[in-house]
Amino acid sequence: MSEVKRSPAVLALHDARAGNARQAEALARALDPVAWASTALQPRAPWRWLAPRRWPGAGQAFGAPFAQALAQPPRLAIGCGRQAALATRLLRARGASAVQILDPRLDRRHWDLVIVPEHDRLRGDNVLTLLGSLHPVDDEWLAAGRADFPALARLPAPRAALLIGGPTAQVPWTVPALQALCTPLLARLREAGGSVLATTSRRTPPPVADFLQQALQGLPHCLWRGAQDGRNPYAGLLGWADRIVCTADSANLLSEACATGAPATAWFQDIAGGRLQHLSAALRERGRLVAPPDLFDAAPATPLRETARIAAQVRQRLQLP
């Protein structure tokens, strides 16, 4: 006799984009560390063009894994991104409580709660706001990162984590500009006898990885450029870092750097626009981002962690156990 599949208590829904998946899964895990699950949606035409609007046949919009969720709805559905906003709407119609992360660009009344960055304009009695983005970084997560990558502890202090994203419309940095910022940082670490824990992302221009590989020669370092370099040591980098430098093009990078106790700075704050400009300014006002020249003289900081606070509010609002 086959085992009956049971629905998870909390289901995170996303479009497989790393930023959306990370936020939905972080909140799901914070609400129920044991009975949560994650589903990457498989959006189909024509519904993927219209999401989060409901059109006839929308129950077929996301393929077999989501059809199973509709047949056995979770107690709570958490979505992040436009595709997930349709999925959480559909699950709410089946009896699940629905929480949507990021403005769905549709009447907020279609969800029990909507969670948006505090600089978004959306407000209402079912809207929760946060500074930055949701993520899993806390003391336990950082300790696990250190345990998973103990070799990083053998690199000399001060260890500077260098987290490189990629140019965006809001933060249109260039490769030469990044190279110019790297030069004094690496010179300071050579002078201090420190090391670099560097990682790039899918959005990083390929010449950046080539530049870092050359520039880091002769300096103790770890450089991760992709799967060819083995497991992604990102959690270890944050866990072992004494200082953190990130590019200002990602709310996730900024939020996670500031969730550690290490002093942090962001390159290209001065050219950031839109929401990332507002986020960088708010983090500076709270003392979580320092100016690049002050990075090595800054004292350890109080971690800024919004996920636990938002989870507590969701639990209270929805009367979750």
| Residue range 249-278, pLDDT digits in tens | 999 999 999 999 999 999 999 999 999 999
Distance CA 89, CA 98 (A): 7
pLDDT value at 24 more than 70:
yes
* 289-300: average pLDDT: 92
For the chain, domain boundaries: 10-134+309-318, 139-297
Q: What is the pLDDT of residues 94-153, one digit of tens each?
A: 999 999 999 999 999 999 999 999 989 999 999 999 999 999 999 999 999 999 999 999
88 and 79 Cβ atoms separated by less than 8 Å: yes
Average pLDDT of the chain is 93
Question: In terms of DSSP bridges, do strands 97-101 and 76-80 run parallel, antiparallel, or are they unpaired?
Answer: parallel
* Helical ranges in 51-198 per DSSP H: 63-71, 82-93, 139-148, 175-192
Q: In this predicted structure, which of 36-40, 43-47, 102-106, 117-121 has the lowest mean pLDDT?
A: 43-47
Q: What sign for the dihedral angle of Cα 106, 54, 49, 98?
A: positive
User: What would the CATH number be for the domain defined by 10-134+309-318?
Assistant: 3.40.50
Specify the range with the lowest mean pLDDT, choosing from 5-9, 179-183, 225-229, 286-290.
5-9
Is it the case that residue 192 has pLDDT exceeding 90?
no
Class of domain 139-297: alpha beta
Q: Which long-range contacts (CB under 8 A, 24 or more apart) does 175-184 make?
A: 175/205, 175/207, 175/208, 175/211, 177/268, 178/208, 178/211, 178/247, 178/267, 179/211, 179/215, 181/267, 181/292, 182/211, 182/212, 182/215, 183/215
Let me know if the fold of 10-134+309-318 is the same as that of 139-297. yes
Q: Which helix (H) or strand (E) is 57 found in, with range?
A: none
pLDDT greater than 80 at residue 5: no
